[in-house]
């Protein structure tokens, strides 16, 4: 290369230096513009961030969605709000993934259901066509308790745990209230109820037979009845004009009874035979004295012992007619023997005209035909009369000789 080459080299270097200086100046100018733009953009970003923060902090008046899910760990849904067939529905899941609570609506109103962690129904509160209903369940999902609006008012049902358990049901209404207790087989064991004018208590055995009944009737009196295993009434306690106790045999016939004769009239006790006739009877008379009767197989009196004023009388009967009587009188004891017509034929007792006893024999017309007694001196005498007692023959005790 010649001089020109050498001459040309310096000019080429100068051109390159000039170009480099121009590029550096342009770069400095771009840097200044970049820094200015960055600052402006930074300010805009800060202002935008503040504006965004204000937007996040603002509470919206209305949020409208068709389905709202709240998720937890592992993006598992733990709460779900959605529209169901009968209205709104809110479900809650446990950490283990079990649906444990549901708040929903049904055709009759609100509905709340609670499940255990095992997925068994343990509680519920919901509306029914009659009103409200609450249910409490066992760990296996069976219902243990129900409180609801029944047909006429409030109703409560309690069930024992397990498939074969007893239960209790209580209902109340305008007409009254009833409580029933059932055995594991579903049969009623006890029933109690009350109405406006009466009340009742009934107990039944496993065969379904009523063995105890207690009740109050419309006249506000009480009744208590007990029965044997077959349901046959064996005894009854009644209140009507006083207390009455009635004992029955296995066939339902009355065997004995104790009762009041009425206010101020005392009581009575009666034992009946198999035919229903009175075999024994004890009661009080109108004057307050006591009376005791032993009856025949037909219920006719065989013996009667009774008080008469301050004395007593024991009488024997034959075919409902008194045939003998022993009693007390103002002078002492007295005994009468009577014929079938009830006429005294033998009278024995304390003499009314002497110091001692007397025996009087009479005919069927009641006329005295013989008399054995004491005279005024205390000696014995025997008198015999004719049929009309107009003539008599007297036999007197001999007079002892005078003392010398």
Q: Give the pLDDT of residue 205.
A: 93
In the prediction, which pLDDT does 53 show? 46
Residue 72's CB: how many other CB atoms inside 10 A? Answer: 11
Domain 310-404: give its CATH architecture. Answer: Alpha-Beta Complex (3.90)
Taking the C-alpha atoms of residue 338 and residue 316, their distance in angstroms, rounded to an integer, is 10
Residue 378 vs residue 66, higher pLDDT: 66
- Cα separations (Å) of 296 from 303, 318, 320? 9, 10, 9
CA atoms within 13 A on the CB side of 292: 5
| Separation in Å, CA 333 to CA 303, 343, 357 | 18, 19, 9
Whole-angstrom distance, CA of residue 215 vs CA of residue 200? 4
pLDDT of residue 30: 54
Tens of pLDDT, residue by residue over 318-336, are 988 999 999 987 778 889 9
DSSP 186-247: S-EEEEEEEESS-EEEEEE-TTS-EEEEEEE-TTS-EEEEEE-TTS-EEEEEEESSSEEEEE
Please give the DSSP secondary-structure letter assigned to residue 277. -
In this predicted structure, what is the pLDDT of residue 18?
Answer: 54
Residue 362 has pLDDT above 60, yes or no: yes
Q: Is 27 helix (H, G, I), strand (E, B) or coil?
A: helix
Are 347 and 336 spatial neighbours (Cβ–Cβ below 8 Å)?
yes
pLDDT over 50 at 44, yes or no: no
| pLDDT tens-digit series, residues 75-129 | 899 999 999 999 999 999 999 999 999 999 999 999 999 999 999 999 999 999 9
293-315 per-residue burial string, b: 16 or more CB within 10 A, e: under 16: bbbbeebebeebebbeeeeebeb
Burial class (CB in 10 A: 0-12, 13-18, 19+), 137: buried
Residues forming beta bridges with residue 87, ordered by sequence position = 84
Domain segments of the chain: what residues?
9-53, 65-149, 310-404
Does residue 143 contact residue 135 with C-beta atoms inside 8 Å?
yes
Are 194 and 206 within 8 A, CB to CB?
no
Per-residue pLDDT, 355: 74
- The predicted-structure confidence for 224-274, as pLDDT tens digits, reads as follows 999 999 988 899 998 877 888 999 987 888 999 999 877 778 899 999 998
pLDDT band for 33, please (50, 70, 90 cuts).
Answer: low
- pLDDT score recorded for residue 90: 96
| Average pLDDT score over the chain | 83
Q: Sorting pLDDT into bands at 50, 70 and 90, what band is 397?
A: confident
Could you count the other beta carbons within 10 Å of the beta carbon of residue 55? 8
Give pLDDT, residue 6.
33
Taking a C-beta distance cutoff of 8 angstroms, is the pair 211, 228 a contact?
yes
Q: Is residue 145 packed enough to be buried (19+ CB in 10 Å), middle (13-18) or exposed (0-12)?
A: middle
- The answer to which of 23-32, 193-202, 304-313, 335-344 has the lowest mean pLDDT is 23-32
Cα–Cα distance list, 141 to 88, 99, 117, 148, 227 (Å) = 25, 14, 12, 19, 40
| Fold equal for 65-149 and 310-404 | yes
What letter would DSSP give residue 402?
A: P
**pLDDT value of position 45:** 45
Whether 83 contacts 96, CB under 8 Å = no
The CATH number of 65-149 is 3.90.930.1
Higher pLDDT, 123 or 52: 123
- Mean per-residue pLDDT, 145-155: 92
Mean pLDDT of 191-210: 89
pLDDT for 330 equals 78
Q: What is the pLDDT of residue 91?
A: 96
């Amino acid at each position: 290369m010649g001089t020109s080459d050498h001459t040309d080299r310096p000019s080429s270097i100068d051109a390159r230096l000039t170009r480099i200086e121009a590029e550096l100046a342009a770069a400095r100018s771009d840097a200044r513009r970049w820094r200015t733009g960055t600052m402006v953009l930074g300010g805009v970003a800060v202002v935008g961030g503040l504006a965004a923060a204000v937007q996040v902090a603002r509470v919206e008046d209305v949020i409208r969605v068709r389905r709202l899910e709240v998720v937890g760990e592992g993006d598992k849904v733990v709460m779900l709000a959605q529209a169901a067939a009968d209205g709104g529905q809110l479900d809650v899941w446990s950490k283990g993934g079990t649906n444990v609570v549901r708040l929903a609506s049904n055709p009759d109103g609100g509905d709340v259901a609670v499940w255990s962690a095992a997925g068994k129904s343990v509680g519920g509160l919901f509306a029914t066509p009659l009103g409200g209903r609450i249910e409490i369940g066992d760990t296996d999902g069976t219902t243990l308790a129900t409180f609801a609006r029944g047909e006429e008012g409030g109703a409560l049902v309690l069930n024992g745990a397990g498939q074969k358990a007893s239960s209790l049901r209580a209902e109340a209404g305008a007409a009254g209230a009833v409580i029933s207790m059932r055995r594991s087989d579903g049969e009623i064991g006890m029933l109690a109820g009350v109405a406006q004018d009466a009340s009742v208590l009934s107990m039944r055995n496993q065969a379904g037979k009523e063995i105890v009944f207690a009740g109050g009737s419309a006249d506000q009196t009480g009744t208590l009845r007990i029965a044997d295993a077959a349901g046959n009434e064996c005894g009854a306690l009644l209140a009507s004009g006083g207390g009455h106790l009635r004992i029955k045999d296995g066939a339902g016939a009355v065997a004995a009874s104790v009762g009041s004769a009425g206010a101020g009239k005392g009581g009575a006790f009666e034992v009946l035979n198999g035919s229903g006739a009175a075999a024994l009877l004890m009661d009080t008379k109108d004057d307050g004295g006591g009376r005791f009767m032993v009856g025949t197989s037909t219920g006719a009196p065989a013996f009667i012992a009774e008080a008469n004023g301050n004395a007593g009388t024991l009488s024997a009967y034959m075919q409902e007619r008194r045939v003998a009587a022993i009693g007390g009188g103002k002078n002492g004891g007295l005994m009468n023997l009577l014929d079938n017509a009830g006429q005294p034929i033998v009278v024995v007792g304390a003499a009314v005209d002497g110091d001692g006893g007397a025996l009087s024999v009479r005919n069927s017309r009641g006329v005295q035909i013989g008399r054995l007694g004491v005279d005024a001196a205390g000696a014995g005498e025997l008198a015999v009369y004719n049929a009309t007692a107009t003539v008599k023959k007297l036999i007197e005790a001999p007079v002892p000789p005078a003392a010398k």
